[in-house]
Amino acid sequence: MLPHRETNLVAECWLDEAAESSDMARWILHVDMDAFYASVEQRDHPEYRGKPLIVGGVGRRGVVATASYEARKFGVHSAMPMETARRKCQQGIFIAGDHDKYAVVSAQIMAILADYSPLVEPLSLDEAFLDLSGMELIFASPLDIAREIKRRVREELQLTISAGLAPNKFLAKMASDLQKPDGLVVVECGQEQEFLAGLPIEKLWGVGEVTAKSLRAKGFTKISQLALLAEADLKPFFGQSAAAVYNLVRGIDDRPVVPGRESKSIGAEETFPIDLTDIDEMRTILTVMANRVGARLRQENFAAWTITLKLRYGNFQTLTRQRKLTRPTQADETIYRTALDLLMQHATLRNGVRLLGITVSHFESAERMEASLFDDREEKGRQISTVMDRLREKFGSAALLPGRMAEKPLSVTKRERKDK
């Protein structure tokens, strides 16, 4: 865990003296927990503190979810194959983590944020936007609110948070990343261009490794250079996103903070330590994933129109197939049967399967749906799934696993997604 740092020692970056703002001044705060999963584990396990801790899939084919700052000194980062992380950091501590615990801590963080603005837009478990415009009429200045949030997270949860305060979402998110960990970076209204001028192109939204290589090949290394280009000149690099990038490189972003933003999709996937060829094993795994995804749907009171199967072979070739249902579903059985049918129709199992995943999308609010959208079979399946949810809550998820899964659990890397 990172050492405590008092508010007056928090890294702050002022680009100008604070100007007096009118009541209409727009202030957006982006908050991002520092090495969230690893920091929670270091908080709860004193023996991990000050040591390189890597959280993720601990199997041979696992992937790093989060690395502590001690581990990052060895070049370990998120999304890195776990085998690579082990080579880079042989003295590291490798753990699978506890998603349920992280969700609880995330809820505690979001509750703190909600005390300072009715407009809170969670992006994931460990980051969110807040619209603080006008909040100085109720609380202190936006800067004081940011400091207060950092103080409360530190004192109440024993965790650190980095924050960016700016006139819009794009700048706030970029600012929060500049002084990690435990940073607070402020971009004043009117200083957008100055803030962006010295930043490398890799910091810009939409610039990945391939795009960065193309831009650098043409001599573009700084965001300020892109701000000199016309929208048409950006199109070869950014395609349909050129119009958005044209505004972003000028510090323009009118997107509102949307509270309680709904998921675009809910999914689960598993990476296996050994390529699978046994269809019975895959059926068992799909059953468990369908149960997990279905439970999330029912928790959020959604029904999904589309089910997608993701499959990756041992040679890393990835196959994605989806099906639009005739009626939206919340039922585990429907999710499972659809995913299994897609698997049987499109997969070549003799190649060996490295990863399986199920995602549901295109949601309806179950509360707003007419009863006629659920036929008798679907309604029965939904009711059975709801009963199973209650039994799992009472006796634990393992109590209702298929027999083979309970007797011989697979060692897998599990990643649950709630895409935004």
CATH superfamily membership of 198-248 = 5' to 3' exonuclease, C-terminal subdomain (1.10.150.20)
Cβ-contact 31, 38 below 8 angstroms: no
Mean pLDDT of the chain: 81
pLDDT greater than 50 at residue 260: yes
pLDDT, position 216: 94
Closest C-alpha to 339, from 321, 353, 327: 321
Band the pLDDT of 20: cuts 50, 70, 90: very low
pLDDT greater than 50 at residue 15: no
Q: What is the mean pLDDT of residues 346-366?
A: 84
Write the pLDDT tens digit of every residue in 208-238.
778 889 999 999 999 999 999 999 999 998 8
Sheet holding 413-419, edge to edge: 318-329, 302-313, 353-365, 265-276, 413-419
pLDDT, position 166: 96
Residue written as tokens 């659809």? Answer: 338
pLDDT greater than 60 at residue 175: yes
pLDDT greater than 50 at residue 282: yes
pLDDT, position 380: 55
pLDDT, position 418: 45
What span, in angstroms and rounded, lies between the C-alpha atoms of 151 and 153? 6
What span, in angstroms and rounded, lies between the C-alpha atoms of 190 and 252? 11
What span, in angstroms and rounded, lies between the C-alpha atoms of 131 and 30? 9
Band the pLDDT of 374: cuts 50, 70, 90: very low
pLDDT, position 377: 52
What span, in angstroms and rounded, lies between the C-alpha atoms of 207 and 234? 12
pLDDT, position 261: 58
Tokens of 259: 């509270």
Cβ-contact 338, 325 below 8 angstroms: yes
What span, in angstroms and rounded, lies between the C-alpha atoms of 29 and 9? 20
What span, in angstroms and rounded, lies between the C-alpha atoms of 135 and 173? 20
Tell how far CA 56 is from the center of its chain: 14
Band the pLDDT of 138: cuts 50, 70, 90: confident
Band the pLDDT of 398: cuts 50, 70, 90: very low
Residue 23: count other Cβ atoms within 10 Å of its Cβ.
8
pLDDT, position 7: 32
pLDDT, position 384: 62
Pairing of strands 183-186, 161-166: parallel
* Side-chain half-sphere exposure of 377, counting CA atoms within 13 A: 5
pLDDT greater than 80 at residue 369: no
- For 408, residues 6+ apart whose C-beta sits below 8 A from its C-beta are none
Residue written as tokens 């006139």? Answer: 167
Q: Is 127 annotated as catalytic?
A: yes
pLDDT greater than 90 at residue 62: no
What span, in angstroms and rounded, lies between the C-alpha atoms of 377 and 70? 53
CATH number of 265-419: 3.30.1490.100
Nearest 5°: phi and psi at 10? -65, 135
Percentage of the residues of the chain whose pLDDT score is greater than 70: 79
For the chain, the structural domain boundaries read 1-196, 198-248, 265-419
- For 394, residues 6+ apart whose C-beta sits below 8 A from its C-beta are none
CATH superfamily membership of 1-196 = Reverse transcriptase/Diguanylate cyclase domain (3.30.70.270)
DSSP conformation class of 48? G
Band the pLDDT of 375: cuts 50, 70, 90: very low
What span, in angstroms and rounded, lies between the C-alpha atoms of 208 and 197? 19
- Among 27-31, 68-72, 246-250, the minimum mean pLDDT is found in 246-250
Write the pLDDT tens digit of every residue in 322-343.
898 877 888 899 999 999 999 9
pLDDT, position 383: 56
Tokens of 229: 């280009």
Write the pLDDT tens digit of every residue in 284-326.
999 999 999 998 888 777 888 889 999 999 888 889 998 988 7
What span, in angstroms and rounded, lies between the C-alpha atoms of 74 and 134? 44
**CA angle (83 as vertex; 161, 286 as ends), nearest 5:** 85
Q: Which residue has the higher pLDDT, 393 or 371?
A: 393
pLDDT, position 14: 34
DSSP conformation class of 200? B
Phi-psi region at 286: left, alpha or beta (left = phi > 0; alpha = psi -120 to 50): alpha
Largest Cα–Cα separation, the chain = 68
Q: Find the catalytic residue in 127, 270, 333, 378.
A: 127
Band the pLDDT of 145: cuts 50, 70, 90: very high
Write the pLDDT tens digit of every residue in 185-213.
999 998 898 999 889 998 887 687 788 89
pLDDT, position 123: 81
Cβ-contact 161, 32 below 8 angstroms: yes
